Amino acid sequence: MSDLQELTSIIEQAKTNGAAPITITGDMLLAAIQFAGLISGGTPPLPAAIDDESFMSIGEVCDDLRISEPTLWRMRKAGDFIPEIKLGQRRIVFRRSDLIEWKRTRS
C-alpha cells in the first residue's frame, strides 16, 4: 500500500469514527502534502517547519555545496547524488540528513 493510499484510508477511518485527531509524520506527511496538491490541482508549498528543519530546495542545496544548478543536475543524472523527493510535478526537495551524510562520506 502506498503512502497516499494509506493516508486516504486513515482519512476515511477518521470520518467514520467521528473525525478524531490524526497525527501524521515523516513519509505520511509528505504524502499528505502531495495529496493536498492533487486535490487543489497545484503543488502546495511546504510548511515552514518541514522546509526549514528537514528538507532543502534545489537552490538551498546548491548554495550549501557552492555549486550551480546545472552542476547539481549533472551529478543527479550521473547517479552521484542523494535521492530526490518529488512533491507534485514541479517541486523537488532533498532530505537535509541525506545531504549531511553524503557530504560526510565525500570528505
Report the predicted TM-score, pTM, of the whole model to 2 decimal places. Answer: 0.51
Task: Estimate to the nearest angstrom the gap between the alpha carbon of 51 and the chain centroid.
Answer: 9
Q: Residue 16's domain spans which residues?
A: 1-44
Query: pLDDT tens digit string along 49-97?
Result: 444 458 899 999 999 999 999 999 999 999 999 999 888 888 889 999 9
Hey, what's the cell of 81? 547524488
pLDDT band per the 50, 70, 90 thresholds, residue 22: low
Is residue 107 very low, low, confident or very high in pLDDT (cuts 50, 70, 90)? Answer: confident
The verdict on 32 and 22 lying in the same domain is: yes
- Based on the fold, state whether residues 59 and 104 are members of the same structural domain: yes
Are both 69 and 90 inside the same structural domain?
yes
Task: Give the angle 102-73-75 at the CA atoms, nearest 5°.
Answer: 45
* Residue 62 and residue 97 in one domain: yes
Residue 59 to residue 43: CA distance in whole angstroms? 17
* Other residues' Cβ atoms within 10 Å of the Cβ of residue 84: 14
**Number of folded domains that form the chain:** 2
